[in-house]
């Protein structure tokens, strides 16, 4: 067991957020920090999601760090492996491995009011103290496994898209995919041509719009590398295009929803000729209400002879396949669970114990809330990345993450420069902010249907109800008056 005032700053998680925060700490001249990562490699989402077809669904020029732009993306939407390679190269360039403790999971964080420090306990039982903590544990990290009767009886292979088993050869096999969300639209068209038979189990169809993916020719990549101005311009144009489309996916407006519906229906008709199939694939809820998916070939896959869309609900899993309520047994050699993730930002990632021994789970008893999604009253010097109400439905998460890094960094610089004990967001400031967020939610489209965006009671603590640009303007600058300041 170790003890001591080990680091001024601890970062938990080595995904985009943790890596981005580390770089900005170095840029600010703060190089005494440690990154704790529970896995054996950096990368987060892009380390874990290696299923066939996995790629980002926001153009890579936007879905990358603004302070580490990459002219070499091979295509508009880079595949997972390329994004992971980008992150690995960024880590090497900034020599972040010197700061990294891999295979180290933080299992508890406890604030010590007397010393103004957080004590972090690892899964190995070690403890470290840090004055400030950046929590970059991600929002979509732990796979969600469906509770289907008989799963244990299945004799073939079962794998979740986020834990792909590359040892399993799908060639010539009968494969069943459960789920039709963001991972399914990528994995289904990719594996369809490899397998003998593909059965896709759909509970709810999704609105799908064209992705317009394309390869970037070598001359363009060279050009962008030589003239970074154009790389920045490309990022800016793609970012604003995604922002301008935003209201179609977040505002509760029949007129805007109609535009989205028409584009999606056109996409469906282009890809599927069979009217019966079209009907099965057409959602019955307002466009934008659930996550809108992007794909150029998902729907067309169902026209293939070897692909079957199953819309009867699943009754159970048996030794040789999946039984639906109509009595049919859909035989399979492999079951792929494209069933998404436990929503990480809805609860504390591990026991986080703040002022007066109050836990973050207690503070979030009625839903996860934080000031600007980052700081929670009673949990001083604790900065959350990708926290409550900071998810976008329309553009890159990283736009939000970078604003959060900037906010946290200003707080950290202030605490260090003024030798403060801690800063703690004022409860009334946090409440006012969240009342405003929930009021605005009423004008958003998301409350109209059941989705992973919503908590059990129907409130939305995951998405930001507006433009990313607005969030950035509101959040990137620290306003000291919003915080209670405690000196030694
Ligand atoms: C398949 C997929 C595709 C996506 N595509 C897009 C996209 O196109 N555009 C977009 O904007 N967003 C996309 N996202 C969302 C994506 O999660 C974020 O964009 C981004 O990668 C999140 O980065 P992060 O660093 O915040 O979290 P993560 O990448 O999830 O990293 C969190 C890290 O924290 C570590 N960790 C967690 N708990 C602990 C602990 N207790 N102790 C130590 N370490 C811990 C994890 O192991 C992980 O490495 C996608 C998500 C998925 C799953």
Residue nearest to atom 33 of ligand 1 (CA): 13
Q: pLDDT tens across 439-449, in order?
A: 999 999 988 78
Q: How far is the CA of 23 from the centre of ligand 1 (A)?
A: 17
Evaluate if residue 18 carries a pLDDT over 80. Answer: yes
pLDDT band at 343 (very low <50, low <70, confident <90, very high): confident
d(CA 422, CA 437): 26
Residues framing ligand 1 (Cβ under 6 A): 12-18, 36-39, 44-45, 49, 54, 56-58, 63, 105-106, 136-138, 140-141, 183, 349-350, 385-386, 396-397
Q: What is the pLDDT of residue 284?
A: 94
d(CA 4, CA 222): 49
User: Among 13, 360, 453, which is best to mutate for testing ligand 1, by the most ligand atoms less than 8 A from CB?
Assistant: 13
Q: What is the pLDDT of residue 451?
A: 80
Evaluate if residue 66 carries a pLDDT over 50. Answer: yes
pLDDT band at 360 (very low <50, low <70, confident <90, very high): very high
Which ligand 1 atom sits nearest the alpha carbon of residue 396? 11
Residue nearest to atom 25 of ligand 1 (CA): 15
Cβ density class 130-159: b for 16+ within 10 Å, e for less: bbbbbbbbbbbbebbeeebeeeeebebbbb
Which ligand 1 atom sits nearest the alpha carbon of residue 58? 8
Q: How far is the CA of 476 from the centre of ligand 1 (A)?
A: 21
Q: What is the pLDDT of residue 1?
A: 33
Residue nearest to atom 22 of ligand 1 (CA): 138
Complete edge-to-edge strand list for the sheet that includes strand 174-178: 157-160, 334-337, 174-178, 197-201, 307-310
Bridge partners of 134?
11, 383
Residue nearest to atom 49 of ligand 1 (CA): 44
Which pairing describes strands 174-178 and 334-337: parallel, antiparallel, or unpaired? Answer: parallel
Residue nearest to atom 39 of ligand 1 (CA): 137
Complete edge-to-edge strand list for the sheet that includes strand 321-324: 314-318, 321-324, 329-331
Residue nearest to atom 34 of ligand 1 (CA): 13
Which ligand 1 atom sits nearest the alpha carbon of residue 43? 49
In this prediction, residues 407-421 reach a mean pLDDT of 96
Strands (DSSP E) along 51-141, which ranges?
100-101, 106-112, 117-122, 127-135
| Residue % of the chain over a pLDDT of 90 | 93
Backbone angles phi, psi at 36, to 5 degrees: -100, 130
Which ligand 1 atom sits nearest the alpha carbon of residue 350? 41
Evaluate if residue 482 carries a pLDDT over 80. Answer: yes
The total of other beta-carbon atoms located within 10 Å of residue 464's CB is 24
Q: What angle do CA 34, 83, 340 make, to 5 degrees?
A: 90
Helix or strand run (H / E) with residue 353: strand 352-353
- Comparing CA positions, the residue from 202, 170, 205 lying closest to residue 309 is 202
Q: pLDDT tens across 154-202, in order?
A: 999 999 999 999 999 999 999 999 999 999 999 999 999 999 999 999 9
Q: How far is the CA of 466 from the centre of ligand 1 (A)?
A: 22
Residue nearest to atom 21 of ligand 1 (CA): 45
- Comparing CA positions, the residue from 3, 291, 282 lying closest to residue 119 is 3
Q: Is 283 in contact with 206 (CB distance < 8 Å)?
A: yes
Q: What is the pLDDT of residue 455?
A: 84
Residue 185 token pair: 């639209």
Strands (DSSP E) along 27-95, which ranges?
33-36
Which string of DSSP letters, residue by residue, matches 424-487?
EE-HHHHHHHHHHHHHHHTTBGGGGS--TTB-TTS-B-SB-SS-HHHHHHHHSS--GGGEEEEE
Evaluate if residue 4 carries a pLDDT over 50. Answer: no
Q: pLDDT tens across 142-162, in order?
A: 999 999 999 999 999 999 999
pLDDT averaged over every residue in the chain: 95
Evaluate if residue 282 carries a pLDDT over 90. Answer: yes
Q: How far is the CA of 140 from the centre of ligand 1 (A)?
A: 6
d(CA 421, CA 131): 8
Q: What is the pLDDT of residue 454?
A: 85
Residue nearest to atom 16 of ligand 1 (CA): 45
Instruction: Say which range, 50-54, 328-332, 342-346, has the weakest mean pLDDT.
Output: 342-346
Q: How far is the CA of 40 from the centre of ligand 1 (A)?
A: 15
Which ligand 1 atom sits nearest the alpha carbon of residue 45? 29
pLDDT band at 6 (very low <50, low <70, confident <90, very high): low
Q: How far is the CA of 44 from the centre of ligand 1 (A)?
A: 5
Which ligand 1 atom sits nearest the alpha carbon of residue 13? 34
Q: How far is the CA of 48 from the centre of ligand 1 (A)?
A: 9
Evaluate if residue 310 carries a pLDDT over 50. Answer: yes
Q: How far is the CA of 13 from the centre of ligand 1 (A)?
A: 9
d(CA 363, CA 11): 22
Distances (CA, A) of 160 to 120, 187, 240, 258: 31, 11, 34, 34
Which ligand 1 atom sits nearest the alpha carbon of residue 47? 49
The total of other beta-carbon atoms located within 10 Å of residue 465's CB is 21
Q: How far is the CA of 141 from the centre of ligand 1 (A)?
A: 6
In whole angstroms, what separates CA 486 from the centre of its chain?
Answer: 34
Terminal alpha carbon distance of the chain: 27
The total of other beta-carbon atoms located within 10 Å of residue 3's CB is 10
Q: pLDDT tens across 439-480, in order?
A: 999 999 988 787 878 888 888 999 999 999 999 999 989 999
Q: What is the pLDDT of residue 2?
A: 40
CA dihedral 150, 151, 157, 161 (to 10 degrees): 150
Which pairing describes strands 321-324 and 329-331: parallel, antiparallel, or unpaired? Answer: antiparallel
Q: pLDDT tens across 80-115, in order?
A: 999 999 999 999 999 999 999 999 999 999 999 999
Q: How far is the CA of 378 from the centre of ligand 1 (A)?
A: 26
Q: What is the pLDDT of residue 354?
A: 98
Residue nearest to atom 7 of ligand 1 (CA): 56
pTM: 0.96
Q: pLDDT tens across 23-45, in order?
A: 999 999 999 999 999 999 999 99
């Amino acid at each position: 067991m170790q003890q001591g005032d080990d680091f001024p700053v601890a970062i938990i998680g080595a995904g985009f957020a943790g890596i981005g925060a580390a770089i900005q700490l170095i840029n600010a001249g703060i190089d005494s920090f440690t990154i704790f990562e529970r896995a054996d490699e950096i990368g987060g989402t892009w380390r874990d999601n290696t299923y066939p077809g996995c790629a980002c669904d926001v153009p890579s020029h936007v879905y990358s760090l603004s302070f580490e732009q990459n002219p070499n993306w091979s295509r508009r939407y880079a595949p997972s492996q390329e994004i992971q390679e980008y992150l690995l190269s960024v880590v090497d360039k900034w020599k972040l491995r010197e700061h990294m403790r891999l295979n180290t999971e933080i299992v508890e964080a406890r604030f010590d009011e007397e010393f103004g420090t957080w004590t972090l306990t690892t899964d190995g039982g070690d403890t470290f103290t840090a004055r400030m903590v950046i929590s970059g544990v991600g929002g979509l990290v732990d796979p969600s496994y469906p509770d289907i009767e008989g799963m244990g009886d299945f004799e073939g292979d079962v794998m979740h898209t986020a834990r792909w088993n590359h040892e399993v050869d799908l060639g010539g096999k009968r494969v069943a995919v459960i789920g039709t969300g963001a991972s399914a639209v990528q994995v289904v068209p990719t594996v369809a041509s490899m397998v003998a038979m593909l059965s896709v189990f759909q509970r709810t169809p999704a609105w799908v719009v064209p992705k317009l993916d394309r390869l970037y020719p070598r001359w363009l990549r060279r050009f962008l590398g030589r003239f970074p101005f154009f790389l920045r311009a490309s990022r800016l144009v793609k970012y604003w295009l995604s922002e301008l489309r935003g209201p179609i996916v977040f505002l509760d407006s029949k007129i805007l929803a109609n535009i989205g519906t028409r584009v999606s229906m056109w996409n469906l008709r282009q890809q599927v000729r069979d009217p019966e199939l079209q009907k099965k694939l057409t959602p019955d809820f307002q466009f934008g209400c659930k996550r809108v998916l992007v794909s150029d070939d998902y729907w067309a896959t169902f026209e293939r002879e070897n692909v079957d869309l199953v819309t009867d609900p699943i009754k159970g899993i048996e030794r040789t396949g999946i039984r639906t309520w109509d009595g049919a047994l859909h035989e399979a050699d492999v079951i792929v669970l494209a069933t998404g993730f436990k929503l990480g930002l809805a609860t504390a990632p591990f026991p986080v114990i703040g002022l007066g021994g109050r836990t973050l789970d207690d503070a979030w008893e009625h839903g996860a809330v934080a000031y600007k999604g980052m700081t929670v009253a009673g949990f001083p010097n604790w900065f959350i990345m990708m926290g409550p109400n900071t998810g976008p439905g329309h553009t890159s998460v990283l736009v939000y993450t970078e604003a959060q890094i900037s906010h946290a960094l200003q707080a950290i610089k202030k605490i260090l420069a003024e030798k403060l004990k801690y800063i703690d967001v004022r409860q009334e400031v946090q409440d006012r902010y969240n009342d405003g967020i929930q009021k605005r939610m009423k004008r958003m489209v998301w409350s109209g249907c059941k989705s992973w965006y919503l908590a059990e009671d129907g409130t939305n603590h995951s998405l930001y109800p507006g433009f990313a640009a607005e969030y950035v303007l509101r959040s990137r600058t620290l306003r000291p008056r919003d915080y209670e300041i405690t000196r030694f």
